[in-house]
Structure 1
Amino acid sequence: MTTVVSDTGVGPLLRGWREQRRLSQLELALRADSSARHISFVETGRSRPSEEMILRLARHLEVPVRERNALLLAAGYAPRYAESPMDAPRLASLREGIERLLRGYEPYPALVVDGSYTVVAANRGIGLMLDGVAEHLLVPPLNAMRLALHPEGLAPRIRNLREWRRHLLDQMERQIALTRSESVRALHAEVAAYPAPEGAGDERTVGGPGDPGDPADQEAPYFALPLRFEHDGRVLSFVSSISTFNTPLDVTVAELAIETFLPADPATVAYLRSLPPFSD
């Protein structure tokens, strides 16, 4: 993704972020140790903010790292944050750490995506989900949202597709609101328009395995919305967790997300433990 700089200056850009975060000038001033008068002057262009002030306001407005560079450029300053390709030497320790984390999580599935949901790394546990996915969806670069929701992807095997689809679309909508990413906006429009696969499951998650209202639901409730999909004649259930890096100083690193899938019921745990260990 490229950084787009508005020709209207940094003031309107900062005002747009403030309004999106639903903060008044006074509220932002109090958080940033400034004054509402100064915030007003910055937004209207009557005062040129320092580089430090721009970064301070961006931090309190939770502006993504990529867009902080855009704010600096709009004010006439150099970008503060590099955007390194994943194979850059300076990210060698990051790549090594991610690979070690993914291997250590096996046989449970785990993957890493960038800000556009392109898969940049995955472990061998992900193969459980990719089994049966159409070949054209497996041509790099893989996209996690397309893999999940395309009618020739994982979607036909997801038992609670309606719930899981809504979860993924909501996730993308939150990201669009946070980052204003045009690439994610276009991806959202694409996957939201996918037709439901013929015969796709419409199971609803009530509280645990089995049918809605089954007593077993009360004995082993799910603690989060599970992804329930068919694999090799059985239904596997996972709940996902997403991790990001704290205070990143690189645009690429700031947009990485590590998603891990934890078995959500005893049957899934037992099946995964029955699999032969992966060999390097």
Structure 2
Amino acid sequence: MAVSEQRKQSKVGLLLRGWRERRRLSQVDLANRAGVSARHLSFLETGRAMPSRAMVLRLAEQLEVPLRDRNPLLLAAGYAPAYEQKPLADPAMGPVLGAVKQILSGHDPYPALVVDGEWNLVDTNRSFALFTEGVAPELLEPPVNALRLVLHPKGMAPGIVNLGVWRAKLLGRLSRRAAADPRLGPLYEELLAYPCDQEEPELDVPGLGDICIPLQLRRGDHELSFFATLATFGTPRDITVAELIIESFFPADEATAEAVRGLNRS
């Protein structure tokens, strides 16, 4: 066996093993999911066998490896990348952006936004202006980062009643993503340095009757409470599309619903 081939096998095997351990699966668990023997999987991880292109993609699917990280797996095994990453300005993205626009506008009068893989705002609906009221103009200059917008002391942070809870939630999510995506490391360090005068819980312990963590926002005489849902595109084949996240906010109580309707009428 050629030395170069051994190196390829060793590299892809280490990557596969790393993703399996990250997903906390045993070799038997992953083998059963992928429909292969645990012995064969062991050979792939140790470099004693070379995975086919189809096998790399099958294991990546069972391991729920993000599309961005599947191309490196293929390259490590000696195969060409399978997934493109078109810019949002590409004409092929027209139908995708059109669908996003329909979802956002259909969610009015409640706020909604879509972000890319680095949490940069791609688009928002008209009602998102409710969130950006009082935000420093420089934070609204493109490219607008949604997490910076929320946590910056000149952003939404001063008006968030439960800032400590939301800060812990967002930083925890970003930390987990940054562990796999080096692009997000500098953003995490920046946001971590922002001041916060509220306690930031290390562990989310729900109280009796709690359904989800609300975003409690102070707007004039109103204290608004929202819960959020996240949506992604099903069966994406492009990295850019796979990383788009649509976040829609719904009123967590009738008082918020009535207040938002009133604010939109004024």
TM-score, structure 2 normalization: 0.88
- Name the counterpart of 2:152: 150
State the match for 1:75 in structure 2: 77
1:267 aligned onto 2:258: no
Asked if 1 retains the 8 angstrom alpha-carbon contact of 2:85 and 2:240, the reply is: yes
Tell me the residue number matched to 1:243.
231
Q: For the Cα contact (< 8 Å) 1:158–1:201, is it kept in 2? A: no
1:190 and 2:197 aligned: no
- Are residue 230 (structure 1) and residue 218 (structure 2) matched? yes
Report the CA distance between 1:201 and its aligned residue: 9.9
Superposition pairs of residues 1-280 of structure 1, within 5 angstroms = 9-176=11-178, 180-196=180-196, 223-276=211-264
Q: CA deviation at 1:158?
A: 0.5
Question: Is contact 2:174-2:188 (8 Å) kept?
Answer: yes
Relative to structure 1, is the Cα distance of residues 277 and 86 closer, same or farther in structure 2, using a 3 angstrom cutoff?
Answer: farther
Distance 1:243 1:163 in 2: 22
Aligned residues: 255
SS of the aligned residue for 1:259 comes to: strand
- Is the 2:111–2:248 Cα contact (8 Å) retained in structure 1? yes
Gap runs ≥5 in structure 1:
1-5, 208-217
CA distance in 2, matches of 1:132, 1:112: 21
**Does the CA contact (< 8 Å) of 1:159 and 1:201 recur in 2?**
no
What are the superposed Cα offsets for residues 211-247 of structure 1, whole Å, 9 maximum, x if unpaired? Answer: xxxxxxx9xx763211111113321111111111122
Name the structure with the higher helix share: 2
Cα deviation for residue 184 of structure 1 reads 2.3
Q: Judge conservation of contact 2:164–2:196 (CA < 8 Å) in 1.
A: no
Q: Which residue of structure 2 lines up, in the alignment, with residue 215 of structure 1?
A: none
Identity over aligned residues, as a percent?
Answer: 49
Compare 250-259 and 24-33 and name the one that shifted more: 24-33
Give, in whole Å, the separation in 2 of the partners of 1:157 and 1:46: 58
State the Cα distance separating 1:189 from its structure 2 match.
Answer: 2.1
Secondary structure, aligned partner of 2:79: coil
2:251·2:257 contact (CA, 8 Å) conserved in 1?
yes
Q: Against the structure 1 CA distance between its residues 276 and 187, is the aligned structure 2 distance closer, same or farther, given a 3 Å change threshold? A: closer
CA distance in 2, matches of 1:106, 1:86: 24
Q: CA RMSD in A?
A: 2.3
Gaps of 5+ in 2: 1-6
TM-score (norm 1): 0.84
8 Å CA contact 1:224, 1:239 repeated in 2? yes
Q: Secondary structure at the match of 1:22?
A: coil
